[in-house]
Structure 1
Amino acid sequence: MRATISSNQKKKVNSLRIDLFESVISISGGTILQKYQLAQFEFYGYKPNENNLYKHSDLPIQDIIKTIDYLDEENLNYTLSNSLASMINSFQKKRQALNEVFAKVKSIKEDALLDETFVEFKKFTDTLPRKLKPHQLKSAYHFYALKNGANFSVPGSGKTSTVLSVYEKLRTEGKCNLLFIVGPPSCFQPWKNEFKETLGRTPDSLILSGGNKQFRKSEYQRPRESASELYLCTFHTALNDTKDIIKFLSQNGVNALMIIDEAHYMKQLGGSWANSLLEIGQHAFYKGILTGTPIPKSYKDLFNLFDFLWEANSSLTENEKIQIEVWEKQKNTLEIKKILNQKIGPLFYRVRKKDLGLIPAKFHPPIVVKMNETEKCIYDYVRAKILDLNEQDYFKNENTLTNLWRGRMIRLRQAVSYSGLLSSSVEDYTEAFINNEDLNSKIINYNTLELPGKLQTLTDLVSTIRKTDKKILIWSNFVGTLELIKNHFITLGYGAELIYGKTPIRKDDTIIIGEEKTREDIRDEFLDMKSNLDILIANPAACAESISLHKTCFHAIYYDLSYNCAQYLQSLDRIHRVGGSEVNEANYYFLQYANSIDQDIKRNLDEKAQKMYDVIEQDYSIYDLDLYDNEQDDITAYKRLFTKH
């Protein structure tokens, strides 16, 4: 019988019919829907036409499950097409599997379960070249029991080794045969290195990033017997190649464990990255997510993560998600934590910094340096100029002030890093700043006038450290300063290299000119105790994530700092991590100019770092570790230092 879903016709007794044609969901039939029910379907994205409701969906199964859950709530009769019923049945089996494993993993987290399966799992991991630490073993077994695991452990805890151990166990059981990693390019080399060190063999790996799309397409079409074992894919490539990746993972004989590394990049709800990963994930045999920052901005950031793992069978229902959003607006965190602890608490594992068994890092008292004559003259002028300009800000609008304040703070931070930086432009900052011809000449010709006081002190510190240790890491936030430091130490006969934004990540990631080294080349050479590369100079924006230096480098010197606490914390973890810091003490040194902004930056960072560490130790707290958003930090500092309250 042909019937129109309408709220103004007589009620009919036959049920609704739900069909799926490619990516279009169709609802037709004779049941009359009430206005509020139609409104709900419109909220779900359905549109009416003459005889049905329809919706184009990139994630049809999730949308269909959501639809039938609502129909069940409303006690509306419906039938599914045969093919659709088969698909839904498969997902319901997964839902049942989740229910069955839920209690087991809860016991694992609470130390209540050490059964025969655990004993057998431990025996297997003990045969691997890299033995798991106690915290890694428990985390790995939790992942293995779930098969779709979430590891939210802090940076430096060994999440990669944990996953690789699980992969190898599943592979030997014949349950999967390749790893498909999606993450930022900086994680690719660590995955390859950790694979060899953990499992004792070099994987046949393939990087899916940049380059020719036709080449990537040919790789996806390779038969299973000639496929690689380790695939490394960027978020952008996953978005661009979604259909091809799905075809690859759907091949007979391809049983993939798909891992999203640095999974907090999925935080954009409804974003293109998240949607492509959700769609691809449906075709992996097993899945995992790794991030030390699971709730970067909002409790909603968790939704995509568990939707990826469990698809329509996510333990958080749509109604619970809506309730969490309401509670978050009301700042009712207690109720949010209760529901998260109940519904997703057993489904992730989190190792905190205090669980790692590392030797506490040693933070040496700041080394206070007296400015040399010219740089003090320049710094005093810059600070006085900011105070003078600030008096003229009263009539400027807020957007204008934001750019001005940010630019002035960058100028002040440049002045305590390297005076020569003041001759360069600052993006989005056009304010006339240096109006003194004599001072401008000193800035332009600074390198011929004197050696910065910090650089002199740095030279002495490096010489002292080198008497007992070989490798030293030096941090600065400005490219010009990085280049100054590198050239200075090369002149003194040291082996020195720098890593910053323009340093190529890999040889296949960009056009390499001549013998230009990549970040991978530089890192590997620096880690080699037999190499002559003794000093690595880097800025946190380019080198604070996914690069481990803790096995051979135990000293980090901060030539200057920014107000970005997230980058600072990430940089600390480069030399203080599992796999070296249990026996080697990490040392941190800070150079500061006397009576300068250096003291305010360090004090502010220490306060924010302590608050952030306190929050990170908790399971369900919001903390912002966005590595590239430090503009607001500078503006907040400006208001504190220069505006009247």
Structure 2
Amino acid sequence: MNIQLNYNQKKNEVILICDDPEDQYWRLLGRIVADNVGEFSTQSDSIIFAWRYFLAFKKELAIYAKSHNIGIRFSPDVKCLLESANTASYQYALKCKPLDEAILISKLREAGFKRTLTSNQLRNLSKLASLPSSATFSVPGAGKTTEALAFYFINRKKEDKLLVVAPKNAFGAWDEQLEICNPNGESSFVRLRGGENNIRELLKSNPQYIIITYQQFPRVRSLVSEFISRNSVFVFLDESHRIKSGKQGVSAEAILNISYLPVRKLIMSGTPMPQSVNDLIPQINFLYPDIRVKEEDVISIAQPLFVRTTKAQLGLPSIEHKLISIPMDPLQYNIYLLLKSEFKRQLNPYLNDDAKSALRKIGKCTIKLMQFVSNPALLSSDMDYVFNQKLGRLLLINNGPKIEYACNRARQLAKEGKKVIIWTSFVENVELIAERLRDLGADFIHGGVDAGDEDDNDSREGKIKRFHDDPNCMVLVANPAAASEGISLHKVCQYAIYVDRSFNAAQYLQSEDRIHRLGLSDDLKPTVEIIECKDSIDEVIRKRLSIKVQRMAKALNDPSLNIDPIPYDFKMFDEQVGGMQLDDLDDIINYFFGGIQND
């Protein structure tokens, strides 16, 4: 029996064609493919699957063919792809040695790179630049964008291009850093936006620097894939943890399907595994699709590939975390117990369901509890959870102790001349708190606030500029989903108050980083106050966030990554599943069915 391997460039697929489909070893091969390949299709004489799966499967295929005397023939396209894949393999990367820093500086100067790198950046680049594909997991403010551009400049050939996949709010930073690093060359990225036809025309102009959002990428994957196939292209993933959903995510799957095309790749994230070690798997698969990565070995596989500059290495003063534990008033607490009991009844039928449906249902119930603890008025009009109209009216006038504390604490800080950012997961809270603190010049940012020019007072950038420049604007209220990335507040604000938190560790860590970044003076002490209601879902969230951050700190060899707060005595002054993952379920189920307080 002989098997011909062909390549479909348009679909990025490998096609195995057998000359004897009745052969028992061909049928057995189909079962082996099913066990090793994520998605595939078959006909009687062919098996088709994504090329990226083939890179990780080719060793098993070679062993199987040799064991059963099966002939393997490669088309010219397959031969060419395999040759290029071999030079960029994980095993090849393991043999690479860091480059000498003096040689790095000389090569960067020759390439026209003008920015002077810090000692941390030089140390990181000496490792990054030697690898065909690598990762920078440095903390925000450490200069990952500069490191990435230096990685490109030191390795590029004249015809090489750069494609960056990034959140929209990071586009400006890439333009800014490119202009600083390359003042004598092209100083801006071509932004792939405006629909498929417009993007096709933009790519026809053969730009050197290109940037696209994670949301746009899957819509035009074939166009981008064709461009990378025709050119020599570096591909960088900024905030690469956004592909942590792997095969389940649309943008992740689209990006992984082109992972074998770039000449070099780089992933960038300060929080590469915010929920679990599984978050790393698709990121490593992007860098080296030739290896099969599992949960039990992903950390050891990743270790030789990444660099990280910690906050301790940057010389940043540590954050003081304060836990403010507040009791609910009797009315709120009694209704809370009713809600918990009702949710317990609703969740019973789902405990034996498949994990995905259980997570969805438990997530909805948990978010309701999070809302109620944060601000009881958020549930006043939700008749599914408010048991009568009288109760609803009582809830409507009760914002709860957390809102009261946050507002009073902001006023005290304002009297001391200190600006503060107040974080809450819920849009209604964002606007409510900003309204209550209007006399302090409070402004707000949430998902409904569009990005725009900083001269537009109603835009995201305009509000940030006002918080920086206006001495009468003492408070900024925001939700982490909209404002945890792309904002630097540390020069004017060193205080943050969390009315509530979700299970999303990435958003929490990144929101903290808004006031804790490079450039913070040694004499300033950034402070975070976390408000919790006693005997509530808040305590489960704190436990889960702590576990996730400790797990990431261990994997990244970063002991400075610590969010455990110190309890302080309380004094009163005169989106669908909340970032939950499957491994959060045990603690949440335990909370409902035997948890922190008795029903």
TM-score (normalised: structure 1): 0.72
Within 2, Cα distance between the matches of 1:565 and 1:588? 15
Indicate conservation of the 8 Å contact 1:558/1:588, yes or no.
yes
1:216 to 199, 204, 215: 199
Offset at residue 163 of structure 1 (A) = 0.9
Determine helix, strand or coil for the equivalent of 1:618. Answer: helix
Within 2, Cα distance between the matches of 1:38 and 1:450? 62
Counterpart mapping for 1:525-604 below 5 A = 525-526=466-467, 528-529=468-469, 533-562=473-502, 565-580=505-520, 584-591=524-531, 596-597=533-534, 604=540
Determine helix, strand or coil for the equivalent of 2:258. Answer: helix
Within 2, Cα distance between the matches of 1:169 and 1:627? 42
Indicate conservation of the 8 Å contact 2:136/2:308, yes or no.
yes
Counterpart mapping for 1:71-110 below 5 A = 71=64, 73-74=66-67, 76-95=70-89, 102-105=94-97, 108=98
Within 2, Cα distance between the matches of 1:554 and 1:563? 24
Indicate conservation of the 8 Å contact 2:93/2:131, yes or no.
yes
Within 2, Cα distance between the matches of 1:301 and 1:248? 28
2:320 to 359, 362, 366: 362
Q: 1:553–1:21: structure 2 CA closer, same or farther, 3 Å change rule?
A: closer
Partner of 1:164: 149
Determine helix, strand or coil for the equivalent of 2:476. Answer: strand
1:517 to 433, 455, 458: 458
Partner of 1:435: 388
Offset at residue 586 of structure 1 (A) = 1.5
Indicate conservation of the 8 Å contact 1:164/1:199, yes or no.
no
Determine helix, strand or coil for the equivalent of 1:379. Answer: helix
1:246 to 225, 230, 234: 225
Determine helix, strand or coil for the equivalent of 1:424. Answer: coil
Offset at residue 139 of structure 1 (A) = 1.6
1:393-421, Cα deviation, whole Å (9 max, x unpaired)? 79876589999986776566545544533
Indicate conservation of the 8 Å contact 2:4/2:74, yes or no.
yes
Partner of 1:457: 408
Residue type of the alignment partner of 2:130: A
Partner of 2:552: 616
Q: 1:550–1:158: structure 2 CA closer, same or farther, 3 Å change rule?
A: farther
Partner of 1:185: 168
2:138 to 140, 153, 163: 153
Determine helix, strand or coil for the equivalent of 1:617. Answer: helix
1:331-358, Cα deviation, whole Å (9 max, x unpaired)? xx5xx37xx63x5532222344544432
Q: 1:440–1:156: structure 2 CA closer, same or farther, 3 Å change rule?
A: same
1:500-553, Cα deviation, whole Å (9 max, x unpaired)? 12222458xxxxxx9673334433443x44676442210123222443333433
Q: 1:553–1:196: structure 2 CA closer, same or farther, 3 Å change rule?
A: farther
Indicate conservation of the 8 Å contact 1:558/1:591, yes or no.
yes
Q: Which runs of 5+ in 1 are unaligned?
A: 6-14, 508-513
1:166-186, Cα deviation, whole Å (9 max, x unpaired)? 234446x6363x432113334
Partner of 1:421: 378
Determine helix, strand or coil for the equivalent of 1:150. Answer: strand
Within 1, Cα distance between the matches of 2:518 and 2:86? 40
Offset at residue 237 of structure 1 (A) = 1.8
Partner of 1:261: 238
Q: 1:158–1:601: structure 2 CA closer, same or farther, 3 Å change rule?
A: farther
Within 2, Cα distance between the matches of 1:576 and 1:206? 31
1:82-120, Cα deviation, whole Å (9 max, x unpaired)? 45434433433444xx65553334xx4xxxx64653463
Residue type of the alignment partner of 2:378: L
Residue type of the alignment partner of 1:474: I
Offset at residue 388 of structure 1 (A) = 7.0
Indicate conservation of the 8 Å contact 2:320/2:527, yes or no.
yes
Residue type of the alignment partner of 2:409: L
Indicate conservation of the 8 Å contact 1:379/1:412, yes or no.
no
Determine helix, strand or coil for the equivalent of 1:145. Answer: coil
Indicate conservation of the 8 Å contact 2:347/2:361, yes or no.
no
Indicate conservation of the 8 Å contact 1:185/1:505, yes or no.
no
Indicate conservation of the 8 Å contact 2:233/2:263, yes or no.
yes
1:203 to 175, 184, 187: 187
Within 2, Cα distance between the matches of 1:472 and 1:276? 40
Determine helix, strand or coil for the equivalent of 1:174. Answer: coil
Q: 1:446–1:266: structure 2 CA closer, same or farther, 3 Å change rule?
A: closer
Partner of 1:504: 450
1:415-471, Cα deviation, whole Å (9 max, x unpaired)? 55445334233xxxx53525363x544444569x999742551343232342xx4x4
Indicate conservation of the 8 Å contact 1:58/1:275, yes or no.
no
Within 2, Cα distance between the matches of 1:451 and 1:65? 57
Offset at residue 241 of structure 1 (A) = 0.5
Determine helix, strand or coil for the equivalent of 1:431. Answer: coil
Partner of 1:287: 265
2:46 to 42, 53, 56: 53
Indicate conservation of the 8 Å contact 1:405/1:638, yes or no.
no
Within 2, Cα distance between the matches of 1:149 and 1:241? 25
How many residues of Structure 1 are paired with residues of Structure 2 in the alignment? 563
Within 1, Cα distance between the matches of 2:394 and 2:151? 60
Residue type of the alignment partner of 1:69: A
Q: 1:618–1:120: structure 2 CA closer, same or farther, 3 Å change rule?
A: farther
Within 1, Cα distance between the matches of 2:545 and 2:466? 31
Partner of 1:142: 127
Offset at residue 59 of structure 1 (A) = 4.8
1:194-252, Cα deviation, whole Å (9 max, x unpaired)? 4456656893233334x433222221222x3xx3x54321223211111211233345x
> Which piece of structure 1 moves more, 189-198 or 478-487?
189-198
Residue type of the alignment partner of 2:413: V
Indicate conservation of the 8 Å contact 1:249/1:255, yes or no.
yes
Indicate conservation of the 8 Å contact 1:18/1:28, yes or no.
no
Offset at residue 369 of structure 1 (A) = 7.1
Q: 1:634–1:421: structure 2 CA closer, same or farther, 3 Å change rule?
A: farther
Partner of 1:510: none
Determine helix, strand or coil for the equivalent of 1:383. Answer: helix
Indicate conservation of the 8 Å contact 1:404/1:431, yes or no.
no
Offset at residue 359 of structure 1 (A) = 0.9
Whichever of the two has the greater Rg, that structure is 1
Indicate conservation of the 8 Å contact 1:378/1:419, yes or no.
no
1:25-68, Cα deviation, whole Å (9 max, x unpaired)? 2434479663644543565547353xx43425465873884575
